[in-house]
Amino acid sequence: MTEDKWVEKLKIFFRRYYWDDILQLANEYPDRRSIIIDFSDLENFDRKLGEQLLEQPDEIIPASNNALQQLLEFQIEKTFSELYARFIHVPNKIPNRELRSKHLLKFVAIEGMIRKATEVRPKIINSAFFCMRCEHVTIVPQSGPKFTEPHECENESCGKRGPFKILIEKSDFVDAQKLQVQESPENLKGGTQPQSLDVDVEDDLAGIVKPGDRVIINGILRSHQRTLRDGKSPFYDLVLHSNSIEYVDKEFDELEISPEDEEEILALSKSPNIYELITSSIAPSIYGYNEIKEALAMQLFSGVAKYLPDGSRIRGDIHILFVGDPGIAKSQLLRYMVKLAPRGVFASGKSASSSGLTAAAVRDEMGDGRWTLEAGALVMADMGIAAVDEMDKMRSEDKSALHEAMEQQCYDDKTEILTENGWKLFRDLHKDERVASLTPDGNLKFTIPEQYVESVYEGDMYYICSEEIDLAVTPNHNMFVSIEHNDQWGNFGLCRMDELPENHRIKFRKNASWNGEHIDSFMIPCKDQNNECYSPESLEEPWVIKMDDWLEMLGYLYSRGKIEEQKGDLQVRIYSTSSYNSLKITQCLQKIGYLWDEDGSSIIIRSKRLLDYLKYFENFPDNVPHYVKNLSKKQLEIFISSIIMDDYSHQDHTNDIFVNSLSLANDIQEIALKAGNSARIRTLHKKELDQISLSQATKHSENVYMVSLTYGEGNYPSISNNEKNVKKKNYSGKIYCVEVKDHVIYVRRNGKAIWCGNTISVAKAGIIATLKSRCALLGAANPKYGRFDRYEGIAQQINMPPALMSRFDLIFVMLDTPNEEMDSKIARHILKSHFAGELSEQRNKLVGSTITEEDVQSQMEKILPPIDPEIMRKYVAYSRKKIFPVMSEDARKHLIDFYLDLRKMGEGKDAPVPVTARQLEALVRLAEASARLRLSNTVTLDDAQRTTRTVFTCLKHVGVDPDTGALDVDFIESGTTKSQRDKIKIVKEIIRRVGDRHANGTAPLDEVYAEAEIEQIDREHVEELVNKMSRTGDLLKPKKDHVRLV
């Protein structure tokens, strides 16, 4: 059957099944360009048509698109293009690992998780090539994996092999993106590695999924031949050309709950011992740990996420950390929780993937050198639970990413960065593209970024705006500034934006030193407009020129020159506004050896070679040649001096240059930086143009850009850090940054360039920023020295930053303490579990076994959970979807009283701080989760009491100062207790006192130990405190056994 017959049959199908949808599509076009077709409808209409779609999709899908277009154009009498029929619920679902050659060119469905996603970028599908000989335009379809250029001009009267120029405005583009879909973790057998498949998506499918999404992708399976260094390979790689994307269950509240399930769930919630039932259903094979299991149950149900009027979000997820001795079932608890969560991911801090626990922006072949977002464990667990074992063995960058998850140090989406290829938005950076960085000694250096950050962000953004400065940064972004104190400017350094002192003057930097290449001479290439070489001696005019003279003339050409047509001939003309300017230009031409004619206010250069060079070898007048931008500072000064008709190296004011090309303005701004100063760019409005006298080479009718060159102290602009100059506003959108070795990069916003800081240490926070608040983290860590010491602070025993530990709502210390009664119960429980397993295995695998099913069941009942895991998951999903508790007055009063009672313990002058507002927020989340656990929309006093009991148990284990026995939250927050800080003050005073008695303020440690003992601080404590102060930079050790305060 021909395609036309398929079209007619599909028209009938669309009219019968999807007419209303088609009319709605017509109303919403072009914002909507596709219609969703259920495969079952197609099969019900014509089984053969359905089979043909699966077997010959390259016939049916184009026919479906044509039928859709013809129906709409006939009905509405309007031209429609790029309409798509997208088929879903395809029965031909094949796991990644079972794809074979027989599936090639078939319509298949692939289910899995998005592992990687590139940026969405235009892909050319029909390219228009302009023949530069006869001006004929040739259209070349781009259907293959490689870009195709015309072999020769299709104009019969020409037929030459170019040169061709691609016309962007006449070419056709489509949005395109590459994805990588990986088998879902829950579908894998133990020990198997998930397999991946590359997917091409285009048009309205591009950009709709992100790493971590669970999807079914329907499309045509194709293959691309591999290429090797020495030729083509006989092996082919598979790629899926997507036709449609379906989302599958990915959140708690998307589980299907039947009316029977709901009835059972409601009956369970009315049970008086619902808490015991649920906690007993968590890891029933593990004996005891009732308090911990109760906390894990609350983590499953979670608190309620809240959105405040100012746009900020308070997380509802509960983060829990287990710390303790090895061999006490920490890992088993984590693995069981992953099974209970509909979206759970288990990861080990010791063996995290290349993308770590969070996410990475990487360059690879999949993205053709573009940035590709690769998901890590926490991304995969979005809206679920991420269980991370051995967190103490995580890579340092992953610890930073976890800690900084909600604190990106980034710029907004309008900020550009200077690269070796000019100014670019962060999202347009290419693979291995070098960016401008500032070395500690003030030199401009182009370097490849070590990391790249791209994130969706919603929160505060600081906007700094003055005549020379325009920045938009997140609150904790590192600013490269000098701060004024007592009328004295400090040294330039990095400081967080939100920590800049208010109402102080802040100085920025715009210039740098540059070590470019000094070149003595320039040789004009000898080729004509047909790209054919000719002898340098064939024209009696100079072709090797002193570089300094050539740069001077280039400056005149770019500021006042143009190529014009006169009587059918092209000529190079430079416009002059005064006799002084004309004299300088002609003197330069004379030094080079060019002939010229003067025509009133212009000078015409008689040089065929110069004309050929400007027309065919350089993008004149839109870009300065690349070799010019890499020259030495002295030679760049010559180029700019001729642009401004003044000595650039001795300026003390601002010069303005007017050009029609933004790319030329960008190049001049970059050259100004390399010449030791700076520049800013502004687009002039029509009213402003009427008041400015422009050179005839600059057109009034086009865009005019003013490049303002800045000199001397103007390169160090300063502002007062107040509300007039710095405004804090809510921001919602993408944010970007890169990390370079020296942590200072050259950025620009609205044409104003400045040196500013970059992201530090948060190598991969780009993605997790939107995820930390959306996934509950369950972590486990082991003590550094094997077993937990109850008399040592937790911060000293765990290889984890205290700032990261403080982000957990609950920290449980799990000790392996010998206790005959408890050990006996655990031993009996373990042996019962093994006995039940032994009975089951023998009954199933031993021929002639006398063990009955009743024998097995009677033993299994002792270790079976009271609530079936599937019902448990649905119970949790129902609660999170339907229950949003409000706190009662009694519960609120109890939490406030508990918080205030603990805070009162810290009211004394020398008392430690027992809790902070962070613990109060944890109390609220846990109380809400407790109410959700019993499907109540009210947080009662019982919920609040259960919560405070759990939190107080945790604080007693991890927040007690071992020296004083008092609660001290600083023990968790900073790793240093109040009593330790007091001792540090005393030891500092002793070192100062002893140092005053010796030369250079250096104190012998023996004398320090002796005086400390008088203050009731033993030598062991002093050694520990001295080491701590040395690590933090408060002390120096100029020689052995001597210290000096910094």
Task: State how far the alpha carbon of 397 is from the alpha carbons of 360, 390, 405, 603, 806, in Å.
Answer: 11, 15, 12, 62, 18
Place of tokens 């983060």: 319
Cβ(427)–Cβ(736) under 8 Å?
A: yes
Kindly give, in sequence order, each residue whose CB lies less than 8 Å from that of residue 739, ignoring residues fewer than 6 positions away: 449, 450, 451, 452, 453, 758, 759, 760, 763
Nearest to 602 by CA among 588, 614, 585: 585
Residue 714 has pLDDT above 70, yes or no: yes
One-character DSSP codes across 588-619? HHHHHT-EEEEETTEEEEE-HHHHHIIIIIS-
Residue, of 926 and 353, whose pLDDT is higher: 926
pLDDT in the model for residue 1003: 86
Place of tokens 């235009």: 122
Q: How does residue 702 score in pLDDT terms, banded at 50, 70 and 90?
A: low
Cα separation of 65 and 243, whole Å?
11
- 3-state DSSP of 742-777: CCEEEEEECCEEEEEECCCCCCCHHHHCCCHHHCEE
Nearest to 403 by CA among 809, 919, 807: 807
Cα separation of 282 and 338, whole Å?
11
Residue 405 has pLDDT above 60, yes or no: no
Place of tokens 């992708």: 217
Residue 250 has pLDDT above 60, yes or no: no
Backbone angles phi, psi at 820, to 5 degrees: -55, -45
Do you find a cis peptide bond into 621, omega within 30 degrees of 0? yes
Write out the two tokens for 286.
């593990």
Which homologous superfamily does the CATH classification assign to the domain defined by 521-715? Homing endonucleases (3.10.28.10)
pLDDT tens, position by position, 61-113: 999 988 888 888 776 666 677 789 999 999 888 888 888 989 999 999 998 88
Cα separation of 85 and 36, whole Å?
6
96-248 classified as CATH 2.40.50.140: yes
**H or E segment at 40?**
helix 39-45
Write out the two tokens for 1028.
């701590």
Strands 385-389 and 776-781: parallel
- What mean pLDDT comes out for the span 284-292? 82
Point out which residues pair with 478 in neighbouring strands.
496
Backbone angles phi, psi at 1015, to 5 degrees: -90, 15
Nearest to 714 by CA among 676, 743, 657: 676
Kindly give, in sequence order, each residue whose CB lies less than 8 Å from that of residue 410, ignoring residues fewer than 6 positions away: 453, 455, 457, 473, 474, 477, 735, 736, 737, 759
Cα separation of 333 and 289, whole Å?
10
- What mean pLDDT comes out for the span 603-631? 80
pLDDT tens, position by position, 342-388: 667 777 766 544 345 555 555 555 545 455 556 666 666 666 787 88
Write out the two tokens for 383.
């809206």
Place of tokens 């765990």: 798
Cβ(83)–Cβ(34) under 8 Å?
A: yes
pLDDT in the model for residue 766: 36
Residue, of 311 and 344, whose pLDDT is higher: 344
Cα separation of 753 and 681, whole Å?
9
pLDDT tens, position by position, 883-897: 999 999 999 999 998
Q: How does residue 1031 score in pLDDT terms, banded at 50, 70 and 90?
A: low
Cβ burial of 672 (10 Å; 0-12, 13-18, 19+) is buried
Residue 218 has pLDDT above 60, yes or no: yes
Q: 3-class SS at 277?
A: helix
pLDDT in the model for residue 81: 75
pLDDT in the model for residue 118: 82
> Quick one: residue 567, left, alpha or beta (phi over 0 = left, psi -120 to 50 = alpha)?
left
- Ranking 590-594, 823-827, 984-988 by mean pLDDT, the lowest is 823-827
pLDDT in the model for residue 617: 59
Write out the two tokens for 125.
């599908």
Task: State how far the alpha carbon of 1011 is from the alpha carbons of 501, 748, 994, 1028, 1044, in Å.
Answer: 39, 57, 9, 19, 16
- Specify the length of the chain in residues: 1046
Cα separation of 911 and 913, whole Å?
7
Residue, of 1017 and 344, whose pLDDT is higher: 1017
- What mean pLDDT comes out for the span 287-293? 84
Residue, of 775 and 522, whose pLDDT is higher: 522
Please name the CATH architecture into which domain 3-88 falls.
Answer: 2-Layer Sandwich (3.30)
pLDDT in the model for residue 355: 47
Residue 251 has pLDDT above 80, yes or no: no
One-character DSSP codes across 221-238? EEEEEEEETTEEEEEEEE
Residue 1020 has pLDDT above 90, yes or no: no
Which homologous superfamily does the CATH classification assign to the domain defined by 416-510+718-761? Hedgehog/Intein (Hint) domain (2.170.16.10)
pLDDT tens, position by position, 320-332: 888 887 777 788 8
How far from the centroid of its chain's Cα atoms is residue 1003's Cα? 49
- Ranking 229-243, 513-527, 820-834 by mean pLDDT, the lowest is 820-834
Tell me how many degrees the CA angle 435-441-446 measures, rounded to the nearest 5: 15
Cβ(760)–Cβ(746) under 8 Å?
A: no
pLDDT in the model for residue 418: 96
Cα separation of 873 and 609, whole Å?
79
Domain boundaries, the chain: 3-88, 96-248, 416-510+718-761, 521-715, 978-1045
Residue, of 661 and 307, whose pLDDT is higher: 661
pLDDT in the model for residue 887: 92
pLDDT tens, position by position, 488-498: 888 898 888 88
pLDDT tens, position by position, 659-690: 888 899 999 999 999 999 999 999 887 767 66
- What mean pLDDT comes out for the span 228-233? 75
Residue, of 700 and 1004, whose pLDDT is higher: 1004
Write out the two tokens for 261.
């399930």
Q: 3-class SS at 50?
A: helix
Q: 3-class SS at 486?
A: coil
Write out the two tokens for 1014.
């008088």
Cβ burial of 952 (10 Å; 0-12, 13-18, 19+) is middle
**Is 521-715 the same fold as 96-248?**
no
Task: State how far the alpha carbon of 83 is from the alpha carbons of 64, 80, 87, 245, 1000, in Å.
Answer: 9, 7, 13, 16, 82
Helices (H), 884-1016: 889-904, 917-933, 941-958, 970-973, 978-996, 1005-1014
Q: How does DSSP classify residue 813?
A: E
pLDDT tens, position by position, 717-748: 999 988 889 998 888 888 888 888 888 999 99
Kindly give, in sequence order, each residue whose CB lies less than 8 Å from that of residue 796, ignoring residues fewer than 6 positions away: 975
Residue 174 has pLDDT above 80, yes or no: yes
Average pLDDT score, the chain = 79
pLDDT in the model for residue 188: 54
Write out the two tokens for 227.
């290429």
Cα separation of 53 and 47, whole Å?
10
Helices (H), 659-748: 662-674, 686-689
**Encoded amino acid at 384, one letter:** G
- Ranking 99-113, 426-440, 459-473, 1023-1037 by mean pLDDT, the lowest is 1023-1037
- Ranking 112-126, 414-428, 790-804, 1030-1044 by mean pLDDT, the lowest is 790-804
Cβ(745)–Cβ(754) under 8 Å?
A: no
Q: For residue 1033, how many other CB atoms are within 10 A of its CB?
A: 8
pLDDT tens, position by position, 772-783: 336 788 888 888
